[in-house]
């Protein structure tokens, strides 16, 4: 295969993945006109149209999609091997992309990164906060963070936090004149502040366990947020009961600003795990990050 064909195939894969000639040209360090000319030449040599072009976006044709499935993984493997060569340097280097919930970023990732990065100036970490369950392979993340029980079986999972407990809390003003719930079913008579599940368009159930008995309660109330912080603020304002990670409300409970109920029904469960594809060979930089995050009881 001619060198020009290899160059053009790499350019094609970049355009297809970016969905834009402009972004692809910037990534490749060439002009948009040169890139367009190269794609036209590749299509002419193959006698096939590989890309659908419009003023808004670029997409692959059926032939283009087949070609991308063939050459894309090959270029990705080459990139991985080239990155691995940086392990020969004195210190690990490279870019790492991670997706995690805002709470996981604040309580687990950020404290670890503060300790790690000053010693490794050539490691660059991009953290994307999202509560949506992300396909890390399709979205080109190196790793993600989830509660242990939600990690897919084909992923490598590393525990990065101690077991977690949930807490049901309300402000003293909310409980004025109201009985405190003694059983999870009692929550149906209370105003509750829900956590919205964006990926599914519904609300997270409140889950409880005691003596082997598990209960999931769908609670109701005036408010629902996608932010744990806002749920806590609403609870502090006396607008209802909140179901939050214990760590999020410990200080407020200790100060007496929030009152905890149903404590015996909130049992520990596996906490956050860093997960990544088992088929990928981790770089030295990624290995350093994993070891910095790994939870040791």
What pLDDT digit, counting tens, does each position of 175-216 carry?
Answer: 998 999 999 999 998 999 999 877 667 788 899 999 889 999
Mean pLDDT of 147-158: 82
Q: Enter the CATH code of domain 3-85.
A: 1.10.10.10
The total of other beta-carbon atoms located within 10 Å of residue 219's CB is 20
Q: Enter the CATH code of domain 166-265.
A: 3.40.190.290
CB 273 within 8 A of CB 148: yes
Domain 89-156+273-293 and domain 166-265 have a common topology:
yes
| pLDDT bucket at 62, cuts 50 / 70 / 90 | very high
| pLDDT bucket at 75, cuts 50 / 70 / 90 | confident
Nearest to 165 by CA among 129, 208, 106: 208
Instruction: Tell me the percentage of the chain whose pLDDT exceeds 70.
Output: 94
Query: The tokens 């032939």 sit on which residue?
Result: 63
Helix (H, G, I), strand (E, B) or coil at 242: strand
Write phi, then psi, for 224 (nearest 5 degrees): -145, 135
CB 92 within 8 A of CB 283: yes
Strands 166-170 and 259-261: antiparallel
pTM here is 0.63
What pLDDT is attached to residue 3? Answer: 64
CB 206 within 8 A of CB 184: yes
DSSP 71-123: HHHHHHHHHHHHHHGGGGSSS--EEEEEEE-HHHIIIIIHHHHHHHGGG-TTE
Instruction: Tell me the percentage of the chain whose pLDDT exceeds 90.
Output: 48
- Is the per-residue pLDDT at 94 higher than 90? no
Rounded Cα distance, 113 and 198, in Å:
27
Q: Please, where are the H alpha helices in the chain?
A: 3-18, 21-28, 32-46, 62-84, 102-104, 110-116, 172-175, 228-236, 246-255, 284-293
Architecture category of domain 89-156+273-293 in CATH: 3-Layer(aba) Sandwich (3.40)
Q: Where are the domains of the chain?
A: 3-85, 89-156+273-293, 166-265
């Amino acid at each position: 295969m001619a060198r020009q064909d290899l160059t053009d195939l790499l350019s094609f894969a970049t355009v297809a993945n970016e969905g834009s000639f402009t972004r692809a040209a910037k990534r490749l360090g060439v002009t948009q006109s040169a890139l367009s000319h190269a794609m036209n030449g590749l299509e002419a040599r193959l006698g096939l149209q590989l890309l659908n072009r419009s003023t808004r976006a670029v997409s692959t044709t059926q032939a283009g999609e087949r070609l991308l499935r063939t050459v894309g993984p090959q270029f990705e493997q080459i990139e991985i091997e080239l990155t691995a060569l940086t392990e020969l340097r004195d210190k690990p280097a490279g870019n790492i992309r991670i997706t995690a919930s805002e709470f996981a970023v604040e309580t687990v990732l950020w404290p670890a990164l503060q300790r790690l990065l000053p010693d490794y100036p050539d490691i660059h970490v991009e953290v994307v906060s999202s509560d949506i369950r992300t396909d890390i392979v399709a979205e080109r993340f190196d790793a993600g963070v989830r509660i242990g029980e939600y990690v897919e079986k084909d992923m490598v999972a590393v525990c990065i936090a101690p077991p977690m407990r949930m807490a049901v809390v309300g402000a003293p003003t909310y409980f004025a004149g109201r009985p405190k719930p003694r059983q999870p079913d009692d929550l149906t008579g209370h105003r509750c502040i829900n956590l919205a599940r964006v990926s599914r368009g519904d609300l997270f159930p409140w889950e409880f366990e005691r003596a082997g008995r598990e209960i999931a309660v769908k609670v109701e109330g005036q408010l629902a947020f996608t932010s744990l912080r806002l749920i806590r603020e609403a609870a502090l304002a006396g607008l209802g009961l909140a179901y939050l990670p214990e760590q999020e409300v410990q200080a407020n409970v200790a100060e007496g600003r929030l009152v905890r109920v149903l404590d015996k029904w909130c049992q520990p469960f596996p906490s956050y795990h860093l997960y990544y594809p088992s088929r990928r060979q981790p770089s030295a930089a990624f290995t350093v990050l994993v070891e910095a995050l790994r939870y040791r009881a």
